[in-house]
Amino acid sequence: MADASKVIPEHFGKAVMDAVSDFARNGIADPAALDAKWFEHIKDDNVRAAICDTFYGARWIYKVGLALLVDGKEQYAHVRAQVIDYGSICEMLLAEMIVHGLSKGKFKSTQFKFRDTTKRQHIQWSRFNDIRPAVQSQKFWWHIAVAREEHIVTRELAKDLDGLRAIRNTVHITAKINSNTTYHLPMSARALETLQKTINQTKSWYNRNK
């Protein structure tokens, strides 16, 4: 016969975890739904799947934080994870639009031709058989600069993306220390808002430039 002193806590613990999981999943679109409705303008299957999984994971972390009423250092960790993921998704969205723009000959300005802000280090795009890895290897600031100059995103959103980039870079501990960054709930909300605007504006640009 099972020891009730062990069975009851085990069942209680499972019930608690199931309740937390159910709460966290409620209201979050699964990756398949994100694929079909949010990120259909991303045409590379692997990139789109990675974006969907990352976004789902960030929203999951947010809902788990709500369920557990995390505070202090725990809330700090939850917010940091969300902001870093939102920033990474924004960077990938811009990169994919730049890949599309280069492939289709849609760009009319000059920043995409250079590796730096002084526009001295020229990029020979014609020498790449596959430009996606070359675009992805550029820095987040470069993606923002090209996207702003080519009107993929507005100047206002580019400014918000630069702010998110600075926070996202605190994934490096040295950058976090030097910037004295403190993570808090409004920071997560602003990062999500920036991501939502980036989704909308990149999708709009793509539909105008197929």
Tell me the per-residue pLDDT of 83-106, one tens digit each, with 9 for 90 and over: 899 999 999 999 999 999 999 999
66/128 Cα distance (integer angstroms): 46
105/70 Cα distance (integer angstroms): 48
pLDDT exceeds 60 at position 110: yes
Q: Phi then psi for 119, rounded to 5 degrees?
A: 60, 45
- As a whole number, mean pLDDT of residues 189-208 equals 95
71/93 Cα distance (integer angstroms): 31
Predicted TM-score (pTM) above 0.85: no
125/141 Cα distance (integer angstroms): 19
How sure is the predictor about 171, in pLDDT bands with cuts at 50, 70 and 90? low
Query: For the chain, first and last CA: distance in Å?
Result: 68
DSSP annotation of 46 reads: H
| Segment among 53-57, 71-75, 124-128, 135-139 with least mean pLDDT | 71-75
How sure is the predictor about 155, in pLDDT bands with cuts at 50, 70 and 90? very high
